Structure 1
């Protein structure tokens, strides 16, 4: 098995559990470099979905849950799906939703008052 085939096999394995979408960080953890990602994008095996999310085209997944996973991955480590988006990821069927609802934890170094951002603490 060539390096490209091994890389693609790792990506497909990861994507099978996450509706065809993986993060660049997940790919790095299994030994895929950013140059290998670019090679697979050019070859049409991967599609970039923002700054962190990558769609593995051969994984066979792409449904209404895939963009939610991509949005969570692009929002960062402290993000998760909420509301109807979380229900859809958990298996709710027959529900048409508008936008993905993604929530992030507030940064600990920020000053918040009445849910308004006041900037970093000084």
Structure 2
């Protein structure tokens, strides 16, 4: 609870001090107290950060996403935004920053004060430690159904200047729907840079009762690479993708999966596997690479 809340309940500062000295309560930063002695849960840590920032503060970036339900992401610091000109208090584990881009429409209407997922997603990516983390944040937000890629795109249009704006725009474009064509185009360029024979793209193959298109295929050496965009992680595609994979494997082709995220953050590692697969099938240029 904040010190202001305790005063509103007519609990005096002397009573608070008595509880603290007795070991029943403990201070958290300068503006709040834990009214228990157990571990402070994430929600408690978030509230303490907001209390520290003041009445106009709100969770932002990845902290807002975690508070809103983002799973499998660990914060290294709690990010809180306040309007420009507001007094900023410093506390361990909290990053309070002033911003001009803080509108009432950006905030969730209930619960702990925090920005909406599409706002928090874009800001979290712009503030990320690395391009890899930025890409991961945007992907996770869409994968976990917290917002739509179109809303991320609309929010990005409000960002005029940022060193990572182009990267975020590229990832959001992938998520919106240009995944397949953009990924294959980049893949072909990367093959040329590594002097790997350029594969055939969008090859039609007939299964037992269905037709499939292979993303990229080196027919001479029997190596297939399936470029997986965000849609491949959705439940409705899991079974179809598995059936396609198995059908190709039965034809004795090597099938490698390349998440589009891999092209962004680990291209060299994936291409090392592709070169190894081609070399194992006798591709001379792959052996030379």
TM-score normalised by L of structure 1:
0.62
1:37 corresponds to 2:37: no
Residue 61 of structure 1: CA displacement?
Answer: 6.4
Matches within 5 A, 1:1-122: 22-57=1-36, 62-107=40-85
Rounded to whole Å, the distance in 1 between the matches of 2:77 and 2:44 is 12
Deviations 1:29-68 (A, max 9, x none): 111111110000011111111221111116x662233222
Q: Is the 8 A contact 1:65 1:88 kept in 2?
A: no
| Structure 2: segments with no counterpart, 5+ residues | 87-99, 101-289
More strand per residue: 1 or 2? 1
Deviations 1:79-120 (A, max 9, x none): 110111112222333321110010011238xxxxxx7xxxxx
RMSD: 2.0
Greater RCO, CA 8 A, separation 6+? 1
After TM superposition, the runs of 4+ consecutive aligned structure 1 residues lying more than 3 A away are none
SS for the counterpart of 2:42 is: coil
SS for the counterpart of 1:65 is: helix
Rounded to whole Å, the distance in 1 between the matches of 2:24 and 2:72 is 30
Rounded to whole Å, the distance in 2 between the matches of 1:69 and 1:92 is 17
SS for the counterpart of 1:71 is: helix
Select the structure of larger CA radius of gyration. 2
Rounded to whole Å, the distance in 2 between the matches of 1:107 and 1:44 is 37
Q: Which residue of 2 aligns with 1:3?
A: none
